Amino acid sequence: MNKSYLTDFILSGLTEKTELNIPLFVLFLLVYMTTVIGNVGFIYIGIAKKILHKPMYFFLSNLSFVDLTYSSAVTPKMLHDFLNKTKVISFFGCAIQMYVFGSFASVECLLLGVMAYDRYEAICSPLLYQVHMNRNVCLSMVVAAYFGGFMNSLVHTVSVFHLRFCRTNIIDHFFCDLPPLYKLSCSDVSINLFVLNILAGLVTMSSMMLILFSYANIVLAIVRIQSAQARYKAFNTCTSHMTVVSIFYGTIFFMYLRPSVSNVLQQDRVASVFYTIVIPMLNPLIYSLRNTEVKEALKSLWR
């Protein structure tokens, strides 16, 4: 089937067991509702409460927006497919879904690096923190993260949808992702895979290097603090971010950096569910439960 005649794809879905469709629909509907409420709520209190008008919460509000957007690129379509026998997605719809999801997933990766640098400045240079992380600097870092994420996804989306698809139009996944689309192509995808590895490695490693640099200096700074209480307070400001980074990168590395011989489809789907649907729900919960200022803002808002 040539790409020029292809009008739609068929998604295989999350599971082939039809008796699980309704229970999974209810489960993921609850997860998605929690994601929407949690992230929209975090954005709202970040804007409404002056106590949260700080660089850290500016980044967190952007993280919530990113989580909400890339989850919304996948979850509503998946919920719709649970209730339909034929899981059709148009050629254009597939490209849009891939671009939006890829863009904001890349932005999240870069934002986590930016947030690690913010924690480095807060702990290692507390007296100059407001100077180093002023409004223009924070805005520039966020814009750079969005620009890098959008351009990264644009290259991948344009390159994959210039391929010829002549084997089948059934995507062995529950959303339009790069690896299952490469499997459908009868074109030579070696260049695509090379570009994917280079750009994905550039985005991931640049963020990881910034995270490692920041936390190496944070650990050294904390070790030099004399007071045990002050050390605990400094460390506690980083625990939420470290938890989010560990979950996000752990899932991404499991998904994309395994040897191809271990590429088991069901494991891929479970990992994909985790980073597309579960992580966007967990992030606002982690930051809300671990952060005293956020909890105080929520109490104030409730009152």
Number of domains in the chain: 1
Angle subtended at Cα 149 by Cα 143 and Cα 152, rounded to the nearest 5 degrees: 135
What does the alpha-carbon distance between residue 70 and residue 239 come to, in Å, rounded to a whole number? 24
Q: At what angle do helices 279-290 and 228-256 cross, to 10 degrees?
A: 180
154 closest CA partner among 191, 201, 114, 101: 101
- Note down the domain range covering 276: 3-302
Q: Which residues of the chain have pLDDT under 70?
A: 1-6, 255-268, 289-290, 301, 303
At residue 258, the pLDDT reads 56
Tell me the whole-structure pTM to 2 decimals.
0.88
What does the alpha-carbon distance between residue 99 and residue 157 come to, in Å, rounded to a whole number? 6
At residue 228, the pLDDT reads 80
β partners of residue 171: 11
At residue 1, the pLDDT reads 42
At residue 257, the pLDDT reads 58
CATH of the domain at 284: 1.20.1070.10
At residue 262, the pLDDT reads 42
At residue 230, the pLDDT reads 79
